[in-house]
Structure 1
Amino acid sequence: MTSTEAKLKERVKELTCLYEVTSIIVNSDYDQLETSLEAILYCLKRGWQFDDDAEAHLVADNYEVQTEDFDLDRVILTSDIKIFNKVDGRITVGYPKKKYDLEDFLIEEQTLLDNISLAVGNLFERKQIRDNEVATRRQMERTDRLHILGEITAGIAHELNTPLANILGFAELLQEKVKNEENVRDLQKIMDNAIFCREIVKKLMFFACEMPQEMSVVELIPSVENVLKLLRPQLRAKNIKLVKDFDETEFELKADTVQLTQVLFNLIMNAAYYSPQGGNIRIIITEKGQHIRLQISDEGAGIDPEIAEKVFEPFFTTKPIGNGSGLGLSVVHGIISGHRGTITHAPNNPKGTVFTIDFPKL
């Protein structure tokens, strides 16, 4: 074969490789991206001059794939993968060092590799844009759902307040007139349950942001320390270690002291409940732009992705019957919304859950 024919054959291989890679990228399933990346590497292998000995490797955006016989004992060509103009990985093609050196690569092969790295980077960019759109849509749907729930809940709470007040008031009047001890005990049970129901109504109103607030300047660290003192027996019972990651900086915010305490109490109590014996609870307070960020993490089993969007809904709970009403996190969400803040949750590393609250600065 003449030199011209050999060069022409190599150009055809390179163009075929580029075409195949482009076709793979166009038809990629973002949910099965690893399969597409592996197919791209085998296209690269076939596009090289000595394709029987060429092997390829790709690492980017938490993915790492390679052809079957790739190893580190190779002379290589490499090209960076850029995602939104930042280097996030690379593609490598190599020959065995015992048989080849750098001069055995063609100049056109480096150009081909650079073009494919650019195409793969664009693929990752489109995937990230898609993922962000999906996450944003889910967040908007969840916000709308919580808003509707809040309106319904506020209506129910207002409707229940009057009959509960009547039950409690008439029970108190009867208790003053009744002399029979057994009847007095029964009336006390009625009053206790009415008071319990009234507390649930209060929690519903917290969720719906209907409770009046007494806002003042509050120092966050002393508030956290006070709640930790209250919960010390529960933490000690499970031998839980507290890791506090904040300095002596005065983190001040405008808040209702009682409501802020309720938020801290609920979140730390939840972390303790789901923590294993001898586990760690980490509390981090930092400044993030125009917000004060509070993070509370545990080392429990974590939140199942299937229920991740439901945790702030009222009456939803994963605790056994009798251990929780399912109002704790919904109340927390309502209070934080009333303080113009946000709350999110994410998996902890290596296990557990991290709740992140952003409060606006003064």
Structure 2
Amino acid sequence: MITAEEKLNERIKELTCLYEVTSIIVNCDYNQIEDALKGILQCLKKAWRFTNDAQVIMVTDQYNLSTAPITEEVISLKSSIRVFNKKIGRIKVSYPARKYQASAFLEEESKLLKNVCMEVGNLLERKQIKDNEDIIRKKMERADRLGILGEITAGIAHELNTPLANILGFSELLKSKLEDDSQASKDLDKIINSTIFSREVVKKLMFFACEMPQQMSLVNINPIISHAINLMDPIFKKNKVVPELRFNADDIYLRADSIQLTQVIFNLVLNAIYFSPVRSKIEIQVTDKEDSVVIYIKDQGPGINPKTKDKIFEPFYSTKPVGEGSGLGLSVVHGIVKSHKGTIKYTANKPKGTIFALNFPKQ
């Protein structure tokens, strides 16, 4: 039997608990929300009638917290935590079964637990809203940066085109007049090759900046992809890597820009060749589905480092040594796929390597 004085003490503990929980939530730092939740559990523990024996556990889809580990059979009082009207977990207050029965819990304690669960749900709702706002803000900031970068790169590309064309033209003209000087001819070959490489970088800049006009038409992509792979045959042989090209249908039609599609295949397969070990295989699989066409490019290289996975589609980011990559290949691929209203994703290949999956909707 509970005396009037005991009842009053319990009400004071419950009101103190609600006050402390409200204070924790009001002053909560969303970056340290786990500490706030631990504090709420401690407040609950102190509010219970038999404080020393009470154990409080919170289990949600993100958190698993407790005031102490449960090592014996217990009796419990539970209440659900809801976020946007969806049950995502619960808080449970327990006593050791060897000392207490279910009647040890008070009706007021059940109401208190429900109120605290409601407050915790409201806190997690606000955190989720803030997290979503942060994601949207970062996306907008990134879009702004890419827009400005696109304008800058378009201007750079146009400015570089003319001098590069002059360097290439005059170098080839000079080479034709120095056929007897083998050393000078070799030096000019280096200039010509470097100019061609630079011109390709400029072309990628223009793709990235969306300055290359897109010519969309319904095309059979099988011969386009086959031709692209055949053109890379010398590179496959030089690197001792074996290509394996498969189509699930003789003719696969897609509304696409054939030149840009070739660019996508070139960039992804050349990347795969670069990172593939000797005597490994690169699979290019083209699958015709009801509403889309999916192209898989699978290599057996070292895979993508988890630390850099969020950067691989960023322009000018490259894991290759200086001078061996412009850092534009994957950003160009991403831009072309996006302009075709498609998606590009990557997963780990087994036992090792990377799989790029390009999904193009049939329009």
TM-score of the aligned structures, taking structure 2 as reference length: 0.78
Query: Following superposition of structure 1 onto structure 2, how do residues 63-102 of structure 1 map, counting pairs within 5 Å?
Result: 63-71=63-71, 73-102=73-102
| CA distance in structure 2 between the aligned counterparts of 1:84 and 1:155, rounded to whole angstroms | 48
Instruction: Give the 3 Å change call, closer, same or farther, for CA 301–359 of structure 1 in structure 2.
Output: closer
The aligned counterpart of 2:203 is: 202
- Mean alpha-carbon deviation: is it higher for 117-126 or for 206-215? 206-215
Gaps of 5+ in 2: none
Does the CA contact (< 8 Å) of 1:157 and 1:205 recur in 2?
yes
**Runs of 4+ with >6 A deviation:** 219-234, 236-239, 271-278, 280-287, 290-299, 344-348, 351-358
Does the residue aligned with 1:91 lie in a helix, a strand or coil? Answer: strand
The aligned counterpart of 1:329 is: 330
**In the TM superposition, what is the alpha-carbon distance from 1:262 to its structure 2 partner?**
3.3
TM-score of the aligned structures, taking structure 1 as reference length: 0.78
Amino acid paired to 2:126? R
| CA distance in structure 1 between the aligned counterparts of 2:87 and 2:264, rounded to whole angstroms | 41
| CA distance in structure 2 between the aligned counterparts of 1:228 and 1:93, rounded to whole angstroms | 64
**In the TM superposition, what is the alpha-carbon distance from 1:63 to its structure 2 partner?**
1.2
**In the TM superposition, what is the alpha-carbon distance from 1:135 to its structure 2 partner?**
1.1
| CA distance in structure 2 between the aligned counterparts of 1:196 and 1:316, rounded to whole angstroms | 18
Residue by residue over 1:88-107, the C-alpha shift from the partner in whole angstroms, topping out at 9 and shown as x without a partner, is: 11111100111112121111
| CA distance in structure 2 between the aligned counterparts of 1:293 and 1:84, rounded to whole angstroms | 36
Does the CA contact (< 8 Å) of 2:248 and 2:286 recur in 1?
no
**In the TM superposition, what is the alpha-carbon distance from 1:210 to its structure 2 partner?**
1.2
| CA distance in structure 1 between the aligned counterparts of 2:56 and 2:210, rounded to whole angstroms | 57
Residue by residue over 1:310-331, the C-alpha shift from the partner in whole angstroms, topping out at 9 and shown as x without a partner, is: 5444322233334422111221
The aligned counterpart of 2:103 is: 103
The aligned counterpart of 1:49 is: 49
| CA distance in structure 2 between the aligned counterparts of 1:283 and 1:20, rounded to whole angstroms | 60
Query: Following superposition of structure 1 onto structure 2, how do residues 245-264 of structure 1 map, counting pairs within 5 Å?
Result: 253-264=254-265
| CA distance in structure 2 between the aligned counterparts of 1:297 and 1:31, rounded to whole angstroms | 39
Amino acid paired to 1:189? K
- Output the aligned Cα RMSD: 4.4
Does the CA contact (< 8 Å) of 1:275 and 1:300 recur in 2?
no
Amino acid paired to 1:304? K
Does the residue aligned with 1:52 lie in a helix, a strand or coil? Answer: helix
Amino acid paired to 2:67? T
| CA distance in structure 2 between the aligned counterparts of 1:53 and 1:109, rounded to whole angstroms | 15
1:302 equivalent to 2:305? Answer yes
Does the CA contact (< 8 Å) of 2:24 and 2:39 recur in 1?
yes
Amino acid paired to 2:258? T
Instruction: Give the 3 Å change call, closer, same or farther, for CA 227–170 of structure 1 in structure 2.
Output: closer
Query: Following superposition of structure 1 onto structure 2, how do residues 23-38 of structure 1 map, counting pairs within 5 Å?
Result: 23-38=23-38
Instruction: Give the 3 Å change call, closer, same or farther, for CA 345–170 of structure 1 in structure 2.
Output: same
**In the TM superposition, what is the alpha-carbon distance from 1:178 to its structure 2 partner?**
3.2
| CA distance in structure 1 between the aligned counterparts of 2:50 and 2:108, rounded to whole angstroms | 14
- Mean alpha-carbon deviation: is it higher for 52-61 or for 65-74? 65-74
**In the TM superposition, what is the alpha-carbon distance from 1:284 to its structure 2 partner?**
11
Gaps of 5+ in 1: none
Instruction: Give the 3 Å change call, closer, same or farther, for CA 102–321 of structure 1 in structure 2.
Output: same
Does the CA contact (< 8 Å) of 1:56 and 1:70 recur in 2?
no
| CA distance in structure 2 between the aligned counterparts of 1:81 and 1:198, rounded to whole angstroms | 60
| CA distance in structure 2 between the aligned counterparts of 1:68 and 1:226, rounded to whole angstroms | 66
The aligned counterpart of 1:149 is: 149
Does the CA contact (< 8 Å) of 1:302 and 1:352 recur in 2?
no
| CA distance in structure 1 between the aligned counterparts of 2:186 and 2:219, rounded to whole angstroms | 43
Instruction: Give the 3 Å change call, closer, same or farther, for CA 190–237 of structure 1 in structure 2.
Output: closer
Instruction: Give the 3 Å change call, closer, same or farther, for CA 342–194 of structure 1 in structure 2.
Output: same
The aligned counterpart of 2:213 is: 212
Residue by residue over 1:88-144, the C-alpha shift from the partner in whole angstroms, topping out at 9 and shown as x without a partner, is: 111111001111121211111111111111111111111111111111111111111
Identity of aligned pairs, percent? 53
**In the TM superposition, what is the alpha-carbon distance from 1:353 to its structure 2 partner?**
8.6
Query: Following superposition of structure 1 onto structure 2, how do residues 1-362 of structure 1 map, counting pairs within 5 Å?
Result: 3-71=3-71, 73-182=73-182, 183-217=184-218, 253-264=254-265, 266-267=267-268, 270=271, 300=303, 302-304=305-307, 308=310, 310-341=311-342, 361-362=362-363
